[in-house]
Amino acid sequence: MHNCLSLWKRAALWRLSLILSILCFILAAYFPTDSLKKTFPWLPGQEHFTQQHSFQSKDQSHGDAREQLSLPDMQKSFKGSITLAGHTLPLPHGEWHPVVMAQSEEENGANFIALIRLDHSVVTGFITAQLSQKALPPILADDIMTPCHDDRNYFTTNKNVPGQINCSFLANAVMAEDVVSLNPFVHAAISRIRDAGLLIPPLMITAGWRHVSPLPSGQITGAIVDVLLSPLEQGTPRLLAPLSHWDKKVLNKDPAALNFINKAKEWLPLWSNLLAEGYNNVLLPSTSSGGKFDPASLR
């Protein structure tokens, strides 16, 4: 005990280190990270928000889903459009390479695909699409539409027609975070992209589209399509603006970031119309050109 007191009086650096260690421990306990919160759920605070990108309810999203996951040849490429779950999925300008394809065998089964567009080894676009192949319980409609009500979105619009609910939104996704989505298929796609040595920018702009069609039975069908765009300087892997400048509250202070978002706002309604036409299998090549050229595409 005497030795400890002597050390406390004489070793100022040791004393400071001990105090800081205790302080950091207290802060970590009161403000836990998501991973720490999951390991020790009794800690105070809540997990950070992540967008729901699947047809599973929030209670189901961490369960053991039975799924058929395939890893297609990433050297293959698609242009124009592809077919998914019996619907036409238009693709923005450029060559899109398949990363992951999946089919859930759960009751709320869905077809999923992830594709990327590259400029050399840099990802300029990342598409994730999930379309239901079976009728879904109506309670999932709110889960599908959840991102449309996020006040952090740059832009949100609803375009409902008889018998259909459509929403599109513009947001940002910090790709450096461990949890980008609750969907395990999206996690698998991101892991495969990184394992292939391809560069994913630290931040991407999400152009999201959500669709719900009520059925006479009272159930619904749904679609979740996200196109993540890279706001990069032309021909480089550098962001147009620092990471902190993409927050909605400070966006007006950075002309480069604001210009990219404004272009995305102009493009999003055209793109959403293409997705709606494709979902209803009435997409016409003559009307698709305007929505094909997103702000991150190389023309």
Q: 71 with 218, same domain?
A: yes
Tell me, yes or no, whether 16 and 107 share the same domain.
Answer: no
As a whole-number percent, the residues of the chain with pLDDT over 90 amount to 57
pLDDT digits (tens, 9 = 90+) for 101-142: 998 655 555 799 999 999 999 999 999 999 987 888 999 999
What pLDDT, on a 0 to 100 scale, did the predictor assign at position 46?
Answer: 37
Asked if residue 47 belongs to a domain, the reply is: no
Residues 76, 210 within the same domain:
yes
For residue 16, give its domain range: 2-39
Query: φ and ψ at 176, to 5 degrees?
Result: -75, -15
Q: Is 165 in contact with 279 (CB distance < 8 Å)?
A: no
Instruction: Quickly count: other Cβ atoms within 10 Å of residue 94's Cβ.
Output: 22
* CA 97 distance to own-chain centroid: 18
Read off the pLDDT of residues 231-240 as tens digits, 9 standing for 90 and up.
999 889 999 9
Is 25 inside a domain boundary?
A: yes
Q: What does the pLDDT read at residue 24?
A: 57
Lowest mean pLDDT: which of 22-31, 151-160, 221-230, 241-250?
Answer: 22-31
* Dihedral angle sign, alpha carbons of residues 196, 198, 203, 206: negative
Question: In the prediction, which pLDDT does 8 show?
Answer: 63
Helix (H) or strand (E) holding 225: strand 220-229
pLDDT band at 7 (very low <50, low <70, confident <90, very high): low
Q: What is the mean pLDDT of residues 159-173?
A: 89
Same domain, 118 and 175: yes
Helix (H, G, I), strand (E, B) or coil at 233: coil
Q: Do 10 and 130 share a domain, yes or no?
A: no
pLDDT per residue as tens digits for the range 69-89: 899 999 999 999 999 998 999
Domain-located, residue 57: no
| 62 occurs within a structural domain | no
Total tally of structural domains belonging to the chain: 2
